[in-house]
Structure 1
Amino acid sequence: MKSIPNILTVIRILMTPLFVICLLEDGWQLYAVLIFGLASLTDWYDGYLARRYGITSDWGKFLDPLADKILVLSAFFSFVYLGIVKLWMVMVIVMRDFIVTGLRSYNMRRGKPMITNLLAKTKTFTQMTMIIVILLFIALKSLLTQFAMDVGRYIEKTVSVMLHYEIIYAGMLLVTVLTAVSGLIYLYQNRDSLRRLASFVFKNS
């Protein structure tokens, strides 16, 4: 029982390459939606087990958010490759996660784990929601292209417009802003650890 959350986390990491392959392969996008949904379910379930039965470990505390970042960033970079999301938005997310993950690891070594704030939880929710919305649009577009009907073509064109213009851009802009602001709040709340870490890096560089 104690190892189940960590096993689920590893499974989530292993599912990520399969998710990316299905997302980028024409006609397989619906499978990508299902895989992402299943991966998200494992994330929820291992968290539930950890809270319900008090099953926690330092390894799990490090691996679980790492698995989430691998899955989320794989999705966003795939969207960039498909021309749906702007690269600069994803780079903001990457930089924030890189800095916060490094700071979190440093604090764990000092025995002072970082507490996830409300804005960070909101950021995670908006990221996951945006990914699911984009995946559903992609899957719908893929399905509609298989139907040789005028109505199907019209809907497919409408979905294509929604994928590449204001709706997706506005949603991703919100995600980017929340991600950046939550990262800045983390840095401010842990400014003492940040100074210590910076001092350590400079002394050993």
Structure 2
Amino acid sequence: MFTKKEIFSIPNILCYFRIGLVPIFLYTYFTAEGSEGHMISAGILILSSLSDFFDGFIARKYDMITELGKLIDPVADKLTQFVVACTLMYTYPAYSWLVAIIVLKDGMLLFVGWFIYRKKGKHLAQAEMPGKIATAVFFVVSILLIAFYIPGTMISTVMIYSTVVLMIIAMIYYSQGLYRLYKEN
């Protein structure tokens, strides 16, 4: 199925690393005591984000894109995003909106995308700019809110709802793309 070279390519190892950081993030976040603990949690999320950037960069630059990477990279991305959103929901209740949007958007991409693929043999491109921007803002906002721990403040509310708006825009963009793909001959 997958060759040893594919399994142990540097970009794929970075994906495994990112998946491994998820339980470490959870542990550090929920056991954080004081600003140092929150900074450690934020640092783990920064490390995860950097590994995501470098796995894509290395894969493209050195022609190391693999079928396994195409499968595992989005899993690592979505798992990290979903866990971070669910985790922050405990401290910042407005994150429940982000959890709902993530579930709706990714559910739509998975199920409607699968339906269209089965019917027409076509699928959307991996990630489009509105989705990339929304995801980048999500992680920047999440890192800042973890690092500075400012629940119940106006700035945290503005940051979260700005992210919600960007996520909704990305969801609408992807739904339009799925609709156009469905209508193609």
Choose which of 123, 128, 148 in structure 1 pairs with 2:139: 128
Query: Which stretches in structure 2 are left out of the alignment for 5+ residues?
Result: none
**Residue 100 of structure 2 corresponds to residue 91 of structure 1:** yes
Partner of 1:20: 26
**Residue-by-residue CA offset, 1:26-49 (whole Å, 9 max, x unaligned):** 322221111111111111111111
Q: SS of the residue aligned with 1:190?
A: helix
**Residue 185 of structure 2 corresponds to residue 176 of structure 1:** no
Partner of 2:61: 52
Q: Is the 8 A contact 2:29 2:38 kept in 1?
A: yes
Alignment of 1:48-87 (within 5 A): 48-87=57-96
Q: Is the 8 A contact 1:6 1:60 kept in 2?
A: yes
Q: Is the 8 A contact 1:62 1:105 kept in 2?
A: no
Name the % identity: 24
Per-residue deviation, 1:165: 5.7
Give the structure with higher Rg (CA). Answer: 1
Runs of 4+ that moved beyond 6 A: none
TM-score, normalised via structure 2 length? 0.78
Q: 1:99 to 1:134 in 2, by over 3 A?
A: same
Q: Is the 8 A contact 1:8 1:42 kept in 2?
A: yes
Partner of 1:162: 153
Choose which of 169, 176, 181 in structure 2 pairs with 1:185: 176
Q: How many residues align?
A: 172
Q: 1:85 to 1:173 in 2, by over 3 A?
A: same
Q: 1:75 to 1:46 in 2, by over 3 A?
A: same
RMSD across aligned C-alpha pairs, in angstroms? 2.7
TM-score, normalised via structure 1 length? 0.71
Q: SS of the residue aligned with 1:54?
A: coil
